[in-house]
Amino acid sequence: MTEHRSPDARFRTSQLEENEGPATNPTDNRTMGEIIAARFSRRGFLKGSLAVSAIAATVSPLAMIAADDARAAEGSAFKFDELEAGIDDRHHVAPGYDADVLLRWGDPLFADSPEFDPAKQSAEAQARQFGYNNDYVGYIAIDGSAEHGLLVVNHEYTNPHLMFPGLVRIVDKDGKKTPELAPLSKEQVDVEMAAHGGTIVEIRKEGGKWQVVRHGKLNRRIMATTEMQLSGPVAGHDRVKTNADPSGAKVFGTINNCAGGVTPWGTYVMSEENIHGYFSGELPEGHREAANYTRLGIPEGAYEWGAHYDRFNLAKEPNEANRFGWIVEVDVTDPNSVPRKRTAMGRFKHEGAESIVARDGRVVFYLGDDERFDYVYKFVTKGSFNAGDHAANKDLLDDGMLHVAKFAEDGTVEWMPIVFGQGPLTAENGFTGQADVLIETRRAADLLGATKMDRPEDIQPNGVNGKVYVMLTNNSKRKDDQVDAANPRAANAFGHIIEISEDGGDFAAAKGKWEVLLKCGDPSVADVGATFSTATTANGWFGMPDNCAVDSAGRLWVATDGQGPKATGRTDGLWAVDTEGAARATSKLFFRVPIGAEMCGPLFAPDDQTAFVAVQHPGDGGEDWEGFGRPSYYEDPSTRWPDFKPDMPVRPAVVAITKKGGGKIAI
């Protein structure tokens, strides 16, 4: 997901260079690129992409393409006419489908919610309205229905230059028109805090179209001010105690909620990702958290919250940052429930928390740490899921084992336990107990020798084929001597996807095997080294895989973050990717977003008749698009999507995609 680096950088949060993060991993652990490089150098010559090179020496390229096209046409799991890639100020969907805006920033969520008035924003109004920059989208059925349920949506961050009128002025600097962002007032910061977090809202499909149920009794907003509890091993520890909370158990709010998940027992989990941007100030000299915070890039000070609230100022509340960077669980059946930060699942820049029930009933969560050169994790609950007793699953996430992945060049992956007292996780290395290990999950993983990855984002287990798909968005900072088997490209601008097969088909296994499913980018450019099948059209390739989904048929859908005029010549979107049979590694474009936007979600309704997608930060980075050619801000946006009204700003929104006349998508 999007990385924030400075107040000025908040004008340009959707482009590739803003997605890479500060790269705070100081270790010499092997990188995935090194491992992949070694692996492919040792594999048999006629395997994978090397086979293509060998066959091409004796078979004409045209014959190879024709044969591949024929096989892919027969074997593809996706039946739809591909959309044309491109760039403009609107969204587009494949022919034969409707893409209807369901929820926009500021839309009322309750019977008493005020209507959205962008010129008169307040925290009180925003607390009753849909939040900003929708990211993860989940669906929790009501009474088992695929057409009536709760939509749960994360609100990752805010773009004040696109949100607030009068905040930006254009000045002349060295002959160049440059935007300047004025300091935010306390009232505007309060709006930002209310626009963060998540939304729980009842929706119903009527006459083939989805509607928001404003009087839904379970509708709720989660915000940066919502009372929460720390639970699990870290709760009550000295390192999470503050002046405002000497108990070390009560936290207000959740921030930078990127991807997430819905548990098998029907709760909503939210991932706290780029928390470093919210903290400013300096730690007291010699403070014990200095190295810990440096490893997470804290403080960055992209947000101005610390100027108005002491808890975001490290000089005044040095422990507050340890209370963020967790997985948050919300019981959606009770709108008054207190969300819990499940500390047993580790603290890092969480991207996603997708889960699956293992053979023995334990529940496995796959977790990515979205930073250049950081790691892939999984958490296995100690207890087992009880499908018949909701209460029995209440605290499953407080007890279990967190693991970090080590990928080997022979194609195996080892899940190493992150447990105090095991291996290097001892007092000699500064840990006094499991709470320390979890607060400093990154350092613990460093010491275990985990494989340094190219920005792990969504990780999706597939219950149909038993595989796990890891989205690795990009890492242009990886050098030639840092490539490895699982991160095969230096200056990896376009990312790749790894497919894991756990031993014995058991998602709770300690070991497994892995393959590179796709190296992304334009396959027509030889230096890029993309590995899409030759049946993939000029519209079908993509770069920067980010979020993903597996529908009920086990088919993989991939959303992207970072494409645009400079990076790929196309906007972000949603691609259908074949993973099985002759069509494996064939990709087709299904939906694309307007200029400046990132594609988030996606989510398929249980009957596969709706795809929900989240369009985040539309209109950002207008200077990179020839069709606009200047910085985009509230008064002068590169698009006014989705309303296209002169009195309405550009608005992030959730879109519901359905087939014209009904039926399952891509069937």
List domains and CATH numbers for the chain: 8-659 (2.120.10.30)
Q: What is the model's pLDDT at position 21?
A: 59
pLDDT confidence band for 177 (50 / 70 / 90): confident
**Cα separation of the two ends of the chain:** 30
CA nearest 561: which of 473, 620, 621, 632? 473
Digit-coded pLDDT (tens) for 623-637: 999 999 999 999 999
Structure tokens at 335: 């709108």
DSSP state of 574: E
What's the rounded mean pLDDT across residues 234-262?
98
What's the rounded mean pLDDT across residues 141-167?
98
Q: What is the model's pLDDT at position 37?
A: 64
CB 149 within 8 A of CB 216: no
CB 460 within 8 A of CB 261: no
Q: What is the model's pLDDT at position 53?
A: 36
Whole-angstrom distance, CA of residue 248 vs CA of residue 245: 6
pLDDT confidence band for 41 (50 / 70 / 90): low
Helix residue ranges per DSSP H, 571-618: none
pLDDT confidence band for 57 (50 / 70 / 90): very low
140 forms bridges with which residues in the sheet?
150
Q: Report the range of poorest mean pLDDT among 39-43, 59-63, 231-235, 277-281.
A: 59-63
For residue 591, give the amino acid letter: F
Digit-coded pLDDT (tens) for 559-618: 999 999 999 999 999 999 999 999 999 999 999 999 999 999 999 999 999 999 999 999
Q: Report the range of poorest mean pLDDT among 61-65, 223-227, 491-495, 573-577.
A: 61-65
Contacts 24+ apart (CB under 8 A), 168-172: 168/631, 168/633, 168/634, 168/635, 170/631
pLDDT confidence band for 10 (50 / 70 / 90): low
Q: Is residue 52 pLDDT above 80, yes or no?
A: no
pLDDT confidence band for 22 (50 / 70 / 90): low
Q: What share of the chain is helix, strand, coil (3-state, %, to 5)?
A: 20, 30, 50
Digit-coded pLDDT (tens) for 324-358: 999 999 999 999 999 999 999 999 999 999 999 99
- How do beta strands 268-272 and 327-330 pair? antiparallel
Q: Report the range of poorest mean pLDDT among 33-42, 174-183, 597-606.
A: 33-42
CB 419 within 8 A of CB 454: no
CA-to-CA dists, residue 608 to 180, 202, 414, 612, 664, angstroms: 45, 19, 34, 10, 5
For residue 69, give the amino acid letter: D
- How do beta strands 340-342 and 227-231 pair? parallel
Share of the chain above pLDDT 70, in %: 90
Digit-coded pLDDT (tens) for 422-478: 999 999 999 999 999 999 999 999 999 999 999 999 999 999 999 999 999 999 999
